[in-house]
Structure 1
């Protein structure tokens, strides 16, 4: 990019905004073209300054960073958004990425890496800090492992027991299961007893969780 790369800072902490501006303004062709104190101001600031990249805080008053990101990404020719935050809960990361963020960095990321991330997303390449990438990979692996384990456990059930498990996971009562599967309530209870024994479970909630992990519901 021959023209200066325009960056908008969105953070409710004035010291953070000042520090970021000092770190990145003028670095490798980057120009800070505006600042906003929350997600509510971010929309008008983007329209006024037309940035290529927005550095977006996550937790802010009035309008949070995820909501603001979602709104910005709906604009014609929207800027790329990098969430820059002290919060790294898995759900925050996933919500930000689903809202359209092109990057997710922690505020303790070294300045040169923040600059590199800005250049990367401006060029169309999403960026996550290494520790975030590892956590998402671990989460995905854990979900895969849970799915495999749950599927293997349910594979030992009979067809009828599978049907009862599915009905339990769908929130059916014993009477509803009996009517749906054309059996007596006593037979439903007997099947549940066998399921508990085979799976090493103690209650219906555990059955429902296992069924969800296996992808039955």
Structure 2
């Protein structure tokens, strides 16, 4: 038996964040559409869900198609369902958000689809309601960064505390207090201090650290939440 009700289209849109260490900027991945409506305009990466395809499978497919990555942070964020949101028809969009390391992006894969990084403050105008999606994603990122170690998804495996602090400055959109941030971050006991330094910015250098994911997962099972609401 099949339903006779008129069908609507269901799409997956992915809001992908990356962080540029050298420029200290939070970036978003966008691509130029190749089909109408809005051919040539900038859009978040996305695709329609194929018949028989699960939503989570579709989201992973879209992410891998545009970035070449699949084993990265990806979560559903929101559903956009206004009947007139897309001039091409009644399209329901299921927004997902992802955090990836900038250098992990497969450049050839991204270029094949016309995708590129944009600093958050230099984003071109996006099609449809994708600008609203970016704003919602930023709000979600700020809220989650206070209680979950999402920042580590955006950094290389080894990093300095100043680099970590500048990342959180970019996420919060303001300069955090150095002393309070260091104190809060070290108190989590989720950082492993390494016996080597990054001397790329000074002769003295800064000790490198790495995130102890196993420790965090162990604590998370017990209901542990980070407390990084730094003033």
Structure with greater proportional strand content: 2
Structure with greater proportional helix content: 1
TM-score (norm: length of structure 1): 0.26
Larger radius of gyration: 1
TM-score (norm: length of structure 2): 0.25
Where relative contact order (Cα < 8 A, 6+ residues apart) is larger, the structure is 2
